[in-house]
């Protein structure tokens, strides 16, 4: 029997260290050659390191969240070889290190999932009266504590509040107390409903490692190194919605269903040549701003592993169907973990859409080293004044942030106003 000392191999691309994000083995496990032993995250990607030999794990270095330098001891195996204290023969070739998923960190989440419906809970019946429901006032009269809404509901249901136990402060009767009384068939019991009587005291500590740690680092870098300014606007997308529905109704089976995002992508590609300062990257260490003619749009995407920014490249060379199809491809690849490093790098401008949970406004954090980001919120029907009359229009809010070192306030506002004009008169997008 002998010891085989396996060191972290050179993962390539200038990587000098990596973070342990998952151990696939523990001390005492028997492994075969090429079995997965550990996941290592670098600035480039998360890779799974396979075992270089067969044997029993006798020791491994580092816990989840620890940084390990290339060339330092990773795992010690007990093998059938006759020599002891044997150091690994050769580093594991780079081609056998299996990438888990290449990652690029975003700063604003995109939620496109449907809001989950929380089932309504029916309070449990109230057990026997344990406290008085009435308070004696200074003039000697007794009264039941309840809000006007509770009193009105009790009158409509012909309920006597004086015999119902209240679970609120000083015995105040709440709607839940009425629910419990009715559910119990009009029986007066006495303990307050479970929803008011159960106190939760548990805690859950979660170590910040892996992708979540990288997100945290990137957010700190972006927020504290970039002086943000934000700009908000309302956009009337009534005509755009009609065009979207018409195109979806007439599309063929090979064409993807259109959301608002492909139209926004096409509009940005159309107007960006007049706003090149917003389609740029800033190297703040060397004080160099690189303005791009190509439109490479990062699409912030929520996944079950965290937040990613897959990139749709050269939007300026696409039509509406091509941009929609490519957006769906890279977003889908990010969600299922098959995105390549090329899919997740190279953006010059980022769009973050909060989908159905869009809210009214936000202050999106710029995706460093970019200088601009656009946030899209949920479109909704609203009464607005148009031509002196109150009419119902479909309104979508947008929130944007810019790096004030590179983009002046007037320039950032001009970009959003140009986008607003394109989306309110969508024929302009295709002219």
Give me the pLDDT at residue 12, please: 66
The full length of the chain comes to 431
Rg for the chain, CA atoms, rounded: 30
Which is it for strands 306-308 and 349-353: parallel, antiparallel or unpaired? unpaired
Two structure tokens written together for 235? 């956009």
Element (DSSP H or E) covering residue 37: strand 36-41
The count of C-alpha atoms lying within 13 angstroms of the C-alpha of 269, restricted to the half-sphere facing its C-beta, is: 24
User: Hey, what domains does the chain have and what are their CATH numbers?
Assistant: 2-102 (2.40.50.100), 134-190 (4.10.320.10), 210-430 (3.30.559.10)
Q: Measured between alpha carbons, how far is 15 from 76 in angstroms, rounded to an integer? A: 23
Give me the pLDDT at residue 135, please: 45
Q: Measured between alpha carbons, how far is 5 from 76 in angstroms, rounded to an integer? A: 5
The residues annotated with a catalytic role in the active site are: 404, 408
Two structure tokens written together for 389? 């009359």
Two structure tokens written together for 415? 């970009």
Give me the pLDDT at residue 170, please: 72
At 309 the three-state DSSP class reads coil
Q: Write the DSSP string, 243-289.
A: HHHHHHHH--TTSPPP-HHHHHHHHHHHHGGG-GGGSEEEETTTTEE
Q: What is the mean pLDDT of each run of 10 residues along the chain (431 residues)?
A: 84 76 89 88 77 89 85 87 47 49 46 45 44 41 73 85 81 84 68 61 84 83 92 97 96 94 98 97 94 97 87 97 97 90 93 83 94 96 94 96 97 98 97 91
Give me the pLDDT at residue 13, please: 59
User: Angle between the 175-183 and 148-156 helix axes, to the nearest 10 degrees?
Assistant: 30
Give me the pLDDT at residue 136, please: 43
Cβ 358 vs Cβ 397: under 8 Å: yes
Give me the pLDDT at residue 270, please: 97
Which is it for strands 389-403 and 228-236: parallel, antiparallel or unpaired? antiparallel
pLDDT digit string, tens, across residues 316-340: 999 999 999 999 999 999 998 888 8
Largest CA distance in the chain: 98
Give me the pLDDT at residue 278, please: 98
DSSP state of 158: T
């Amino acid at each position: 029997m002998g010891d085989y000392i396996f060191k972290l191999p050179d993962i390539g691309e200038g990587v000098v260290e990596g973070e342990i994000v998952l151990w696939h083995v523990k001390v005492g496990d028997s492994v075969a050659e090429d079995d997965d032993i550990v996941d290592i995250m670098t600035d480039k990607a998360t890779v799974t390191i396979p075992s270089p030999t067969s044997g029993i794990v006798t020791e491994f270095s580092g816990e989840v969240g620890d940084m390990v330098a290339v060339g330092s001891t990773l795992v010690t195996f007990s093998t059938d070889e006759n020599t002891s204290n044997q150091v690994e023969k050769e580093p594991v070739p780079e081609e056998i290190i299996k990438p888990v998923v290449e990652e690029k960190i975003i700063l604003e989440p995109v939620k496109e999932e449907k809001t989950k419906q929380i089932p309504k809970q029916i309070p449990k019946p109230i057990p026997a009266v344990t406290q008085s429901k009435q308070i004696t006032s200074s003039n000697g009269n007794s009264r039941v504590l309840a809000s006007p809404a509770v009193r009105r509901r009790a009158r409509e249901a012909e309920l006597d509040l004086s015999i119902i136990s209240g679970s609120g402060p000083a015995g105040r009767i709440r709607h839940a107390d009425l629910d419990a009384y009715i559910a119990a068939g009009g029986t007066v019991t006495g303990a307050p409903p479970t929803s008011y009587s159960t106190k939760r005291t548990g805690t859950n500590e979660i170590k910040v490692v892996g992708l979540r740690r990288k997100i945290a680092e990137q957010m700190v870098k972006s927020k504290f190194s970039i002086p943000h300014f934000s700009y908000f606007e309302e956009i009337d997308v009534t005509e755009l919605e009609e065009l979207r529905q018409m195109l979806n109704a007439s599309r063929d089976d090979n064409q993807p269903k259109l959301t608002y995002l492909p139209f926004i992508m096409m509009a940005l590609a159309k107007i960006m040549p007049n706003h090149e300062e917003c389609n740029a990257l800033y190297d703040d260490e060397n004080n160099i701003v690189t303005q791009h003619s190509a439109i490479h749009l990062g699409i912030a995407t929520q996944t079950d592993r965290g937040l990613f920014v897959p990139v749709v490249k050269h939007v300026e060379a696409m039509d509406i169907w091509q941009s929609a199809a490519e957006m769906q491809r890279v977003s889908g690849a990010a969600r299922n973990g098959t995105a390549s490093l090329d899919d997740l790098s190279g953006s010059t401008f980022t769009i973050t859409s909060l989908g159905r949970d869009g809210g009214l406004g936000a202050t999106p954090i710029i995706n460093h080293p970019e200088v601009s980001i656009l946030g899209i919120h949920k479109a909704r029907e609203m009464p607005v004044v148009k031509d002196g009359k109150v009419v119902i229009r479909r309104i979508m809010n947008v929130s944007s942030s810019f790096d004030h070192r590179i983009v002046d306030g007037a320039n950032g506002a001009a970009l959003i106003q140009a986008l607003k004009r394109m989306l309110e008169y969508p024929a302009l997008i295709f002219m």
